Structure 1
């Protein structure tokens, strides 16, 4: 299912996770890529938004997890691909997630059903820019987790840094994160940056289409008081 969140920004409801599509000043951008079984869902959503799959020129990956990269190889896109530098090795298969961490061990298992993309993958770091998007390094859920913020489009794609449930916003929990303390620090860091955006688009839950930056700031304040 596809839903338009604001002009040029769409949510793609995949199998228990969200992917997104954004028209960044004419550069069609896919943000995350669902699970391995979501290829057809993404194809259909792109068509519903009025585009062809070949129109996608850029892919922004918030982090390496099977439910965020799973359908990418099957889509066969001729597109520039970006991911946080510390997750790049996991993504392209040059490195293995650590077995000594429960989350890492889960990634090892799910990695057996994840095919690395065929194209070049660029690692990004805090403060980098890709089109209108600024990269924020937000580790904790994974070592290389990043958020992509476009004030031009008024949207922050925050992956699994946070999750929404019944209208409430909370940090990514154990055991689905490498380090929950770093998750909290990353939330405070992004909230302190005060991104001027309306839409807060997370991997799990219902995106906030208004006052997204406010909701993030409120969560940051709650965390700071703990």
Structure 2
């Protein structure tokens, strides 16, 4: 029996309440986690899975949509706890997950240091130090745009760059579901581009949103915001209208 389970993880970050939504995909033979939260989130993941009568010890694979810390921070711990899992990443993003290349977020933050002073400089340096502590994880399988993975009714890889160059979303044709990662987020009930000021290529991010219109999407799951309530196509078109001059 195929199934999709949203893991709503609530936590405090920098004095603010936040929620992220990793996803578990399940069939008769597979239990696949899409993204995994910050370092130290393994207990939160296990608790959220248990609440849906699922056990992380049955995990077979973890798919990382991209290498931002809130998506891969617990990846190394997951691999250590459950060494049987296969970690999957987009081909161009994999070297950042494994630590072969310096995180693009570190490079982005370092590029701002010369223009910062005082508390802003201190916070940026603190952020860089935090990112440098993230433990790398092995990547056993890489994927590229339009690859089809055979599990859980089929999973199509959709390259959605912009937020990061190697960002991907996942399309489940059997249920017409798109797991967006950070390609889009939900803010005040509407779709938005995730932290546009930090997108590594905002124009690419907008093009990725436009590309999503090529898919019949009945359910849209955002890492920040969870399951979107409303007409997905209309919401994507409204988002694009806000960036029509981009």
Same fold (TM over 0.5): yes
Please provide the CA RMSD for this pair.
2.5
Which of 1 and 2 has greater Rg? 2
Report the equivalent of 1:196: 216
Structure 1 regions of 5+ residues with no counterpart?
1-6
- Relative to structure 1, the CA distance from residue 179 to residue 103 in structure 2 (aligned partners, 3 Å threshold; closer, same or farther) is farther
Residue 89 of structure 2 corresponds to residue 83 of structure 1:
yes
- 1:147 and 1:156 in contact (8 A); partners too: yes
Residue 34 of structure 2 corresponds to residue 31 of structure 1:
yes
> Quick check: 69-78 or 209-218, which moved more?
209-218
Structure 2 regions of 5+ residues with no counterpart?
12-17, 113-123
- Taking structure 1 as the reference length, the TM-score comes to 0.84
Residue 138 (structure 1) shift: 0.8
Matches within 5 A, 1:122-137: 122-131=141-150, 132-137=154-159
Question: Which one of the candidate residues 185, 194, 200 is aligned to 2:207?
Answer: 185
- 2:64 and 2:89 in contact (8 A); partners too: yes
- Whole-angstrom CA distance in 2 between matches of 1:103 and 1:162: 26
Residues 135-176 of structure 1 deviation map (CA, whole Å, 9 limit, x = unaligned): 011111111000011021332111111111110111123333
Report the equivalent of 1:205: 225
Question: Which one of the candidate residues 39, 44, 49 is aligned to 1:41?
Answer: 44
Residue 214 (structure 1) shift: 4.7
Residue 61 of structure 2 corresponds to residue 61 of structure 1:
no
Residue 200 (structure 1) shift: 0.7
Residues 88-118 of structure 1 deviation map (CA, whole Å, 9 limit, x = unaligned): 111000011356534988785443232122x
- Whole-angstrom CA distance in 2 between matches of 1:223 and 1:143: 19
- Whole-angstrom CA distance in 2 between matches of 1:214 and 1:121: 38
Residue 210 (structure 1) shift: 5.6
Residue 84 (structure 1) shift: 1.4
Q: How many residues align?
A: 217
- Whole-angstrom CA distance in 1 between matches of 2:110 and 2:27: 33
Matches within 5 A, 1:155-166: 155-166=177-188
Report the equivalent of 2:23: 20
Residue 206 (structure 1) shift: 3.4
Higher strand share: 1
